[in-house]
Structure 1
Amino acid sequence: MSPQTDFMSHRNDALRAARLRAGWRTMDAAAAALQAHGQQLLDDPHYTVSGRTWRRWEGRADDRRWPSEETAIVLHDALGRWPEDLGFPAPAGWIRPEAHQEDDVKRRAFVSVTAAALVPGPTAGQHVDPALIDYFQSQLEGHYRADMLLGPHDLIGTVSAQYQLIDKLIRSAKGETRRGLLRVGAAYAALVGWLYQDAGDLGAAAFWRGITQEIAARSRDPHLVGYSLVNLAQVRTDLGDGHGVIDLCEAALDDNRIFPKVQIMALQQQAHGASLTGDRTTVDRLIDTADGLLIRVDDDLPWGNACKRTPGYLEVQRATCYGRLGLGREADGLWRQVLAAVPSTARRDRGVYLARHAAAAAVSREPDHAVEIAREAATIAVETRSARMARELRALERAMRPWQDAPVGRDLAEVLAPVTEGS
């Protein structure tokens, strides 16, 4: 391999693309422009960036030193990206400066989140009519439909407030009424956890998944206990912890009393765990096993009905797992089938599927097709403010990096700008 070829194979394409988008045609021009920008931003006439430094940044990874915090701020202000998004390997302990400013806001938001679940007692006793169980159960289906149409942000306050009321009633209820309210309370807590997960707040999501497990255990309902474990596994999937996903799903499946619906949920989530560990054979085996159970789903429980409500539910999971495994062509074919059956009412889900389909097209080396698919996904992402969808579109950006300097790459940047600017 020639020195020039070696440099090309190790160059920092992310920083180079950002430089060219800024109109800095050469590395020396980029260094001069960044230096001028930094001197003005920091009000420091001695701030310098040399052409040699910039060439090292765009060169081999082992020669690429992490910039100082002030240079990280200047890069972000000039290019709109932090160093880790510009090809620099982040050192241990690095926290974006903006995160320091957001800590207090996040802490206050988390306190607000937990308030609904941790109302101190005891509360004044009251008569609790058993009919309230049916009332809260009937509300659930409406919340599920609204979630598909609106996304998470507009529902979190409503659903968590209802959970707070249920928790208050549980403290006064007795016997089977109390047991019934515990069951419906677990379903509400699970929904709040999902809404926070979709909104991108995994800390709040994990908290509410824990509340779900607590209430499920108190209800003594094995189906809800299994459901709560799958809920926890969903958070582990978003954290990229494949073995954690598998552990939780196996724990749920250890109880042979659980309904087929809960078994299906655990099997498909375990398939996601297997995909995170690179095991395609197990992915297919688990999803095929779940598919064989679909005909046996006949319970009337108001929660966990995605396998009945979502067209092509298990093929959605398979396609997602294939995309995670880098099986672009296989995933592309499945997404075409799935999207043909998605109803217009499932707008948020459609946006997520489109983003994953676009990434599969990119992996299949069909960049023009990927951008075409991404247009609709980006529109839905802006409308619903779904962090899950934005995360899928960032994965598409990574899959499209081989074309980032080509016209199709610039088209994608334009398509995704409304999403990335708001995320």
Structure 2
Amino acid sequence: MAVVALWTGAKASALRFALRLTMEELASQIGGISPSGVRRWDHEPNMVPSMVSQRDLDYLLSKASPDEQARFAVLVGDLEQPSNGPAEIVAPQPSIMPNLAIPSLVSPSSKFIAPTSDTLAWFEQNLRSQYTADNLLGPRALMPLMQTYVGAIEQMQQTARGPVLDRLLRVGAGYAEFTGWLHQDAGDLRGATTWATRALEWAQGGMDDRMTAFVMMRRAAAALTARHGEYAVRFAQSAQRFNTPETGRIRIIAAVTEAHGHAIAGDGGESDRALDNAAGLLEQYNGEIIEGDPTADRYCELGLYTKIARAKCVLELGRAGAAVDAFSDVLDSLPREYHRDRGQYLGSLARAHILAEQPEFAAAAAEEAYSIALATGSTRTLDDLRRTMPSGLAPWSHIPEVQRFCAMLDAVEPEIGGN
């Protein structure tokens, strides 16, 4: 059984991730601590929790399943007992590991992580699980975890050769790209660019054209967030250069990203053309997922995705009535589990209502978006609300619904969801 001699913020956070608990759920099981206190463990990895919390953390770890114990051991990154003293973390014994246990990452004869086939297969499968966790927990919960994984992959690359190195570069590109996305969603565009650059380097080193196209498309999406329409167009067009069946889904997404870039640049004609191109690609490829596609589990059904893209474009182009109708349709069509995305699109619907001069509806949509953004830690949504709502609603500041929402937004602490 895993044992911890002294809990720190980092280890407590690792336990939360291993148990798949939200901050609120963990706080409910730890004496004398609130969800904000649990959040501090994420941001202050070296802090030492109180003795009451230490005791409760010990209890939760002792009651964890073998699979949860295994995840905890990997997250802490100490699966091998040091030779100079007792280990704080001891990995679960093989005899109690389930059939799908995480493979041993450390070679018995080396301090380096061993890039075995089982290890690589686990990393490939695990990345898909993180996509689901992202939509449930938001970026702040996953960023420390993903950086640990990337570090492990980078360490394995140092001793790998031949096809194993190629595979590690491809796996690493996927993890680096996803880490960049988490930084983007948390509002750290500089960090997002740094991680995307690493992902692109590894994808090209592994001669993975599909991942290269995907990273370029993601760079285009980051340019949209930064409001660089022309940059978004260039990156999205670059992603569409890889004309193979395997890149069909990526080209569909890149085409609608290009359309959004044109809309930001104020070119409605080119935006409509790119959307028509995306519709043609969707008809040609039918959104088929080919094994290893990096878009799998990252995007909703592509028919819905193109619908979302059209809504964003008409909003960007100032077509108020069409934008209200389009985002209302999107929210009606959005799967219930897309919680964080619902917050983002509610914020967009609020902007559309402002354009349509419907302040009460705008405030109601913005208030719901605000609540979801706080729950998921999505700085992207909070920043959008801060940037657009106060000025947009200013002409109707005397309306009670508007006053209530603006007061709520002012009460948000700047560091919530911050860098």
Q: TM-score, normalised by structure 2?
A: 0.67
Q: Which residue number in structure 2 is paired with residue 343 of structure 1?
A: 335
Q: CA RMSD in A?
A: 2.3
Percentage identity across paired residues of the two chains:
29
Matched, 1:374 2:366: yes
Distance 2:392 2:303 in 1: 27
Runs (5+) with no aligned partner, structure 2: 1-42, 44-109
The amino acid across from 2:292 in the alignment is: L
Distance 2:385 2:112 in 1: 50
Question: In proportion to residue count, which structure has more helix?
Answer: 1
Matched, 1:292 2:280: yes
Q: Which residue number in structure 2 is paired with residue 364 of structure 1?
A: 356
Q: Against the structure 1 CA distance between its residues 283 and 173, is the aligned structure 2 distance closer, same or farther, given a 3 Å change threshold?
A: same
Distance 1:255 1:279 in 2: 25
* Equivalences for residues 2-21 of structure 1 within 5 A: none
Offset at residue 336 of structure 1 (A):
1.1
SS at match of 1:172: coil
Identify which of 121, 124, 127 aligns with 1:137: 124
Q: Which residue number in structure 1 is paired with residue 5 of structure 2?
A: none
Contact 1:200/1:388, CA 8 A, preserved across alignment: yes
Offset at residue 235 of structure 1 (A):
2.0
326-335 vs 346-355, which moves further: 326-335
Distance 1:254 1:270 in 2: 13
Q: Against the structure 1 CA distance between its residues 137 and 239, is the aligned structure 2 distance closer, same or farther, given a 3 Å change threshold?
A: same
Q: Which residue number in structure 1 is paired with residue 344 of structure 2?
A: 352
Offset at residue 125 of structure 1 (A):
6.4
Identify which of 407, 411, 414 aligns with 2:407: 414
Q: Which residue number in structure 2 is paired with residue 175 of structure 1?
A: 162
* Equivalences for residues 220-239 of structure 1 within 5 A: 220-239=207-226
Matched, 1:404 2:392: no
Contact 2:113/2:155, CA 8 A, preserved across alignment: no
Distance 1:392 1:204 in 2: 19
Q: Which residue number in structure 1 is paired with residue 143 of structure 2?
A: 156
Contact 1:382/1:418, CA 8 A, preserved across alignment: no
Distance 1:141 1:131 in 2: 16
Q: Which residue number in structure 2 is paired with residue 186 of structure 1?
A: 173
SS at match of 1:166: helix
Q: Which residue number in structure 2 is paired with residue 276 of structure 1?
A: 264
The amino acid across from 1:252 in the alignment is: A
Q: Against the structure 1 CA distance between its residues 213 and 421, is the aligned structure 2 distance closer, same or farther, given a 3 Å change threshold?
A: closer
Matched, 1:312 2:304: yes
Identify which of 239, 244, 248 aligns with 1:260: 248
Contact 2:364/2:401, CA 8 A, preserved across alignment: no
Identify which of 325, 338, 344 aligns with 1:333: 325
The amino acid across from 2:236 in the alignment is: C
Contact 1:271/1:287, CA 8 A, preserved across alignment: yes
User: Once the two structures are superposed, what CA deviation does each residue of 1:255-282 show, in whole Å capped at 9, x if it has no partner?
Assistant: 3236101111211211121011111222
